[in-house]
Amino acid sequence: MARVGVFVCHCGLNIASTVDIEKVVAYARGLPDVVVAEHNLYSCSEEGLSSIRKSIEKNKLDRVVVAACTPRTHEPLFRKTCELAGVNKYLFEFVNIREHCAWIHIKEPLSATDKAEKLIAMGVAKARLLEPQKETESSVIPTAVVIGGGLTGLTAAASLAAQGIDTHLIEREEKLGGVLGDVEVISPEFSKSGDLIGQLVKELKGSRHAKVHLGAKVVAVSGFIGNFEVTVEGKGKQEKIPAGAIILATGAQEFMPKGEYGFKEMPEVVTQLELERRLASGNVPRRAVFIQCVGSRQPGREYCSRICCNASLKNALRIVRTRPDSRVSIIHRDIMSYGTASERLYREASDRGVVFLRYGLERIPKVVRKKDGVVVEVYDETIDEMVDLDTDLVVLATPMVSREDARDLGKLLKVPLDKYGFFLEAHVKLRPVEFATDGVFIAGSARWPSSVTECMGQGLAAAAKASIPIRRGKVVVEAITASADPDRCAACGNCVIACPYEAIEIVEEHGKRYAKVNETKCKGCGTCVAACPNDAMQQRGFTSQQLSSMIDALIKSTEEET
Amino acid sequence: MPKKVVVIGGGIAGIQASLDLADMGFEVHLVERTPSIGGRMAQLDKTFPTNDCSMCILSPKMIMCAGHENVKLHTYSEVEEVRGQFPNLKVRIREKARYVNIAKCTGCGDCIAKCPVKVPDEFEQKLSNRKAIYLPFPQAVPRKVTIDGEVCRMIKTGKCGVCKKVCQAGAIEYDQKDEVVEIDASAIVVATGFDIMDASLLPQYGFGSCKDVVVSLQFERLLSASGPTGGHLTRPSDGRTPKKLAFVQCVGSRDERMHKYCSSVCCMYATKESILAREHVADIDTTIFYMDMRAVGKGFQEFVQRAEKLYGVRYVRSRPASVQPGKDGKGVLVTYETKGLAGEQVTEQFDLLVLCPALLPSRGSKALADRLGLKLDEDGFLVAKDIRHPVDSTRKGVLVCGFACAPMDIPDSVAQASGVAARVAEILQGGG
Ligand SMILES: Cc1cc2nc3c(=O)[nH]c(=O)nc-3n(C[C@H](O)[C@H](O)[C@H](O)COP(=O)(O)OP(=O)(O)OC[C@H]3O[C@@H](n4cnc5c(N)ncnc54)[C@H](O)[C@@H]3O)c2cc1C
Ligand SMILES: Cc1cc2nc3c(=O)[nH]c(=O)nc-3n(C[C@H](O)[C@H](O)[C@H](O)COP(=O)(O)OP(=O)(O)OC[C@H]3O[C@@H](n4cnc5c(N)ncnc54)[C@H](O)[C@@H]3O)c2cc1C
């Protein structure tokens, strides 16, 4: 018989202010096989964990149920505590009574408490049937692949190579540098982008650990952390690169206006990148008007692209610094010069006479053709008046948008994107350069528009993360995998089709054909279990028997009430 | 023998750098000057833009860091001196006397209950008191008490000794002395974060003179379920629930006379705090006085829109001229100019006012930079070596990350911290 311990967490007041903890604990004590039920102010604090550990040891528990918050952040911690107390970590069951009870039913404490009891009853029922699992290890190919040879990818690849890790950098264009190829100087220091990119390229070329593939496209990716295979196609050749980790740094591109503000009709109206190219060739306008947020911060594309205000400030300064006779205005909605250095540029621009006018979405500026040039008509919110700005050039600051094929790449790598097509990291706050898929990392403007220093910081971060499994040389393989009972399996192949990881094949052993799961490839998603018509496919830790026992427990607890 | 790295500052940046370095196989010595790691993030209620509970996502990281086989914590400690050159740095760490044997202390709290001395609680931003023997917050790591030698009666006058009497574990040691340890480190990471400006330096905003003016970090504590009011939003003057709330942005930042730079996170945390206030008090009206709404991160614009449309937050582009106490010293009267040239001065009454003061390089960071030989910029933040090396300091072998480099939010601090780990690995591999 199992010896189950139930530990209910107050989470300070997060749970305790809604759920009646005492009542829940008393209820848990009456559940089958429960030897002990306790509660903690913060189960995840050092004190909470050590009291759970002591209780496991004292009461000789062999199944542990914690009713607290979410497994997404806390399961590893409690599993580790079980291990420290000598209980296999797969004999741990997590019940979420914070998100699922206290928070969502914050206004109905009685029902929240009742639901907490039911969830715990279900958790205990399942825990009784849990089985210990063994984790296996698999080896890691000591090579990294970086996709995208812009600033971010270059930084990541240079770091990995400098760490002594063999690295392949895949760039689909014929040259490295990405967007910076068209940006001559970089704010806030007005450094030359050519020098920066040049130095990175030199470091890579000089390293025996780095190999650059130009004009190369990623056409297929298979495998899993430690054992990927990246197929690259270019110049009529195909190459398969085995890799332990992959970094995605495919960047973003400038949004092309769709005829807003006379773009395409009037030669005086250009985008920021076009201005960059002109300034680089020494073509400095005398009069210029920048219009910010063209195509962003409006319905359909709500986001702020983070770098455009700073790019406009930089280019406005390049104009006024070189031409004392110049007249430059920036028409904006908010100036996003966050931090220290950019705010200094904003200040310098104001001091040097750059005019800042603020517009709102209700009255957007107009660009009108006049005999000798163009006029920007703008309603300035601050002074509550219409202002006409004669100018030689109108610069549209448009947002960075995702690359057209970002979604295709996402599919190849099985990683998600947000609604705008930027790649979606594992956790917005604490895992900014990781994907939920192990072994695949994200950095730079493919994740979100970012400045040069930010892109480089993220490139380095991804290089750090990618290096960790490679340094260790091995990874732990998920133990919660599926397997088919050969006696029940009819070899119908439904699971083979359903599996998104190509982990299942039909094999013939001892004259019997059945579905066999490759455990290193299996991610434990459970899709095959649902697809199996014969109940032959079972997922460890989620067997039909375990799940039925949960439903039975729920029915039982509901019947007891009536 | 693994190479050693000293990380200075145990906020989220220092914790992340330590974890990555430890995972890479380095021996990490994390030096934190307060009794617990966690930094500012430990004080926050929720975090923008997802409103994840801050402590809930931080706590596992703190515990993993402390439990990592390659990490050694030096809390209540400071780096006194660094001698030598990369990669042979000698780092002298002073572990201040806690007057508690941390090997014996179980963190049970019996001593705290009995201690007769009360002083303002820094963690609670002085909204409540703590004892002379204390645990900074319930989830503190390590969970060991500390005696504040500055205020403890026994240490100061030799008369008391209550904590020693009640301590079953025999952990109290009044004669404990500072200890100095020296680490032969190959590299150093500086992640010393920020402090919040003393808002009373700008008397026109009423901090210190009006009871119902608080600063943002205090407001985080007022919102927090584990804070001084148990998560009930009340105002200091009379403990009543505020129905009209206002925030003032850029208090002492973007200001020629104080700090010229933008603190980067205030627009977003004021928006967050407004949303949370509404979740505490269903009929609260909130106004945010601001200059530019700098919502530049992932999901930030949507977050501001949600505040405006779903939570009825009123954004007013104006910098208030003065703040006066309200009737009977309760609430405040805020005088500000409305938009446009035709704008006029209006005075509006609020129940509670939250100031968002400039966020400064942490106290003592100038002295630390001098000790380590690092350059600071004109605003007092750590300067990077050059554009190719954004997380290297001006001294070889010393890396920098987090708010100590420039104002930045949690994800940016975390990314930079991981980046530092990569650079440490590079330079110790023999790279430049
Ligand atoms: C006009 C403008 C001015 C700017 N000015 C400044 C400034 O002054 N200061 C500052 O700090 N920042 C500035 N920035 C921002 C900064 O330049 C960028 O954020 C940064 O260069 C982005 O680098 P990245 O490597 O992430 O992306 P990118 O530069 O976009 O590089 C991505 C690379 O990946 C390649 N790629 C894409 N898809 C694939 C694929 N499927 N397979 C293989 N390769 C692929 C692309 O060809 C490209 O080379 C500016 C940006 C713009 C647009
Ligand atoms: C009111 C408020 C709300 C916020 N809300 C959010 C939010 O919702 N989301 C978000 O992303 N960001 C938010 N932030 C910003 C967030 O707090 C910072 O991004 C983050 O704390 C930076 O982490 P850090 O580790 O760099 O610095 P810190 O958190 O400041 O940590 C630095 C650590 O170093 C220690 N230290 C300092 N000097 C020394 C020394 N000499 N020796 C040893 N140790 C030292 C300190 O004690 C501290 O523990 C908010 C900030 C404020 C003020």
SS3 label, residue A429: coil
- The tokens for B11 are 């906020």
Please tell me the distance between residue B151's alpha carbon and the centre of ligand 1 in angstroms: 56
Query: Taking a C-beta distance cutoff of 8 angstroms, is the pair B29, B7 a contact?
Result: yes
Residue A461 CB coordination number (10 Å): 33
pLDDT at B104 exceeding the cut of 90: no
Give which of A529, A490, A520 is closest to A506, Cα–Cα.
A490
Q: If pLDDT is split at 50, 70 and 90, which confidence band does A439 have? A: very high
Predicted confidence (pLDDT) at residue B431 exceeds the cutoff of 70: no
Q: How far is CA A426 from the centre of its chain?
A: 4
How much is the pLDDT for A514? 96
Average pLDDT over residues B376-383: 97
Other C-beta atoms within 10 Å of B108: how many? 17
Q: Is B190 in the pocket of ligand 2 (CB under 6 A)?
A: no
Neighbours of A38 (CB within 10 A): 17
Residues of A in contact with B318 (CB under 8 A): none
- How many Å is the Cα radius of gyration of chain B? 23
pLDDT band with cut points at 50, 70 and 90 for residue A382: confident
| pLDDT interval class at A28 (50, 70, 90) | very high
Record the tokens describing residue A166, joined without a space: 């063999």
Please give the CATH architecture assigned to the domain spanning B197-358: 3-Layer(bba) Sandwich (3.50)
Contact B285, B247 (CB under 8 A): no
- Which chain B residue has its CA at the smallest distance from A472's CA? B24
Q: Which residues of B touch A11 (CB under 8 A)?
A: 56
Residue A72: pLDDT band by 50, 70, 90 thresholds?
confident
Tell me the pLDDT band of A44, cut-offs 50, 70 and 90. Answer: confident
Domain B4-96+178-193+362-428 has CATH 3.40.50.300: no
Q: What pLDDT is stored for residue A444 in this prediction? A: 98
DSSP-derived letter for residue B42 is G
In angstroms, what is the C-alpha Rg of chain A?
Answer: 30
Per the CB < 8 A criterion, the answer to whether A193 and A180 are in contact is yes
Lookup: tokens for B113: 């209950």
* Sequence-ordered list of residues with C-beta below 8 angstroms from that of A267, at least 6 positions apart, any chain: none
Bridge-partner residues for A4, per DSSP? A34, A63
Structure tokens at A540: 């460890």
A201-209 contacts at long range (C-beta below 8 A, 24 or more positions apart): A201/A154, A201/A176, A201/A177, A203/A158, A203/A161, A203/A162, A204/A154, A204/A157, A204/A158, A204/A161, A204/A169, A207/A158, A207/A161, A207/A162, A209/A160, A209/A161, A209/A162, A209/A164, A209/A165, A209/A166, A209/A167
pLDDT for B340 equals 61
* DSSP structural state of residue A445: G
**Is A256-398 assigned to CATH 3.50.50.60?**
yes
The stretch A210-232 carries a mean pLDDT of 96
Of B129, B178, B175, the residue nearest B154 (C-alpha): B175
Q: Tell whether the model's pLDDT for residue B432 goes beyond 70.
A: no
Q: Does residue B342 have a pLDDT over 70?
A: no
Q: What mean pLDDT do residues A476-495 have?
A: 92
Report the mean per-residue pLDDT for chain A. Answer: 95
Is there an atom of ligand 1 within 6 Å of A152 CB? Answer: yes
CA angle B80, B186, B360 (to 5 degrees): 50
CA distance B140 to chain A (A): 7
- Give pLDDT, residue A120: 98
Question: CB atoms < 10 A from the CB of B165, how many?
Answer: 11
Interface contact A45-B294, CB threshold 8 A: no
Nearest to B6 by CA among B189, B258, B231: B189
* Candidate from A286-295, A506-515, B379-388 with smallest mean pLDDT: A506-515
Question: Which of the 8 DSSP states describes residue A71?
Answer: H
The finding on whether A151 has its CB within 6 A of some atom of ligand 1 is yes
pLDDT of A380 over the 90 cut: no
Model pLDDT, residue A381:
80
Query: Which whole number is the average pLDDT over A516-540?
Result: 92
Residue B146 has pLDDT above 90, yes or no: yes
> Cα distance from A458 to chain B (closest Cα, Å)?
6
Burial string for A384-420 (b: 16+ CB within 10 Å, else e) reads eeeeebebebbbbbbbbbbbeebeebbebbebebbeb
User: Considering only CB atoms, which chain A residues are within 8 Å of B262?
Assistant: 337-340, 342-343
Phi then psi dihedrals of residue A327, to 5 deg: -135, 115
Q: Whose CA is nearest to atom 13 of ligand 1?
A: A451
- Report the distance separating Cα A88 and Cα A341, nearest Å: 52
The domain segmentation of chain B, as residue ranges, is 4-96+178-193+362-428, 110-166, 197-358
Q: How many CB pairs (< 8 A) connect A and B?
A: 219
Tens of pLDDT, residue by residue over A531-555, are 999 999 999 999 999 999 999 999 9
Q: Which ligand has the shortest distance to the CA of A251?
A: 1
Collapsing DSSP to helix, strand or coil, B371 comes out as helix
What's the angle, vertex CA A125, arms to CA A121 and CA A127, rounded to 5?
Answer: 115
Q: Cβ–Cβ of A73/B60 closer than 8 Å?
A: yes
Tell me which fold the domain A482-539 belongs to. Alpha-Beta Plaits (3.30.70)
Which of the listed CATH numbers 2.60.40, 1.20.58, 3.40.50, 3.30.160 matches domain A4-133? 3.40.50
Residue-wise pLDDT for B154-213, tens only, equals 999 999 999 999 998 899 999 999 999 999 999 999 999 999 999 999 999 999 999 999
pLDDT of residue A519: 85
Instruction: Note whether A464 contacts B411, CB cutoff 8 Å.
Output: no
A381-393 average pLDDT score = 90
A35 with A3: CB under 8 angstroms?
A: yes
Nearest CA to ligand 1 atom 15: A451
Q: How confident is the model at residue B341 (pLDDT cuts 50, 70, 90)?
A: low
- A1 and B CB contact within 8 Å: no
User: From CA B37, how far away is CA A161, in angstroms rounded?
Assistant: 33
CA of B402 to the centre of ligand 1 (A): 23
Burial B233-259 (b: 16+ CB within 10 A, else e): bbbbbeeeebebbbbbbbbbbbeeebb
For B305, name the nearest residue in chain A, comparing CA atoms only.
A302
Predicted TM-score of the model (pTM): 0.92
Share of chain A above pLDDT 70, in %: 100
Establish whether domains A143-253+402-475 and A256-398 are of one fold. Answer: yes
Of all protein residues, the one whose alpha carbon is nearest to atom 4 of ligand 2 is B269
Distance in angstroms between the alpha carbons of the first and the last residue of chain A: 29
The answer, yes or no, to whether any atom of ligand 1 lies below 6 A from the CB of A541, is no
Taking each continuous run of H as one helix and of E as one strand, the counts in chain A are 14, 30
Nearest to A443 by CA among A252, A241, A244: A252
Give the tens place of pLDDT for each residue, A149-159.
999 999 999 99
Percentage of residues of chain A with pLDDT beyond 90: 87
Q: For the residues A134-156, what does the mean pLDDT come to?
A: 96
Determine whether the interchain pair B57/A12 forms a contact, defined as Cβ–Cβ distance below 8 Å.
no
The domain ranges of chain A are 4-133, 143-253+402-475, 256-398, 482-539
pLDDT band at residue A477 using 50, 70 and 90 as cut-offs: confident
State whether residue A73 sits within 8 Å of chain B by CB: yes
The Cα of A164 is separated from the nearest Cα of chain B by a number of Å equal to 7
pLDDT at B176: 97
Range list of β-strands (E), A445-502: 474-477, 482-484
pLDDT at B13 over 60: yes
Distance B261 CA to ligand 1 centre (A): 26
Q: What angle do CA A98, A100, A106 make, to 5 degrees?
A: 70
A339–B297 CB contact, under 8 Å = no
pLDDT surpassing 60 at residue A500: yes
Q: Does B112 touch chain A (CB under 8 A)?
A: no
pLDDT per position as a tens digit, A189-219:
999 999 999 999 999 999 999 999 999 999 9
The verdict on whether omega for the bond into residue A399 sits within 30 degrees of 0, i.e. cis, is no
Average pLDDT, chain B: 95
ipTM of model over 0.90: yes
| pLDDT of amino acid B124 | 97
Residue A296 distance to chain B (closest CA, Å): 10
Is the domain A143-253+402-475 a CATH 3.40.5.10 member?
no
Q: At what angle do helices A71-84 and A46-58 cross, to 10 degrees?
A: 50
> Distance (Å, rounded) from C-alpha A28 to C-alpha A34?
7
Backbone angles phi, psi at A70, to 5 degrees: -105, 140
Is residue B323 within 8 Å of A365, Cβ to Cβ?
A: no
pLDDT at B333 over 80: yes
Find the distance separating the first CA and the last CA of chain B, reported in whole Å: 22
Atom of ligand 2 minimally distant from the CA of B368: 41
Alpha-carbon distance of B21 to B15, in angstroms, equals 10
Structure tokens, A132:
């210990």
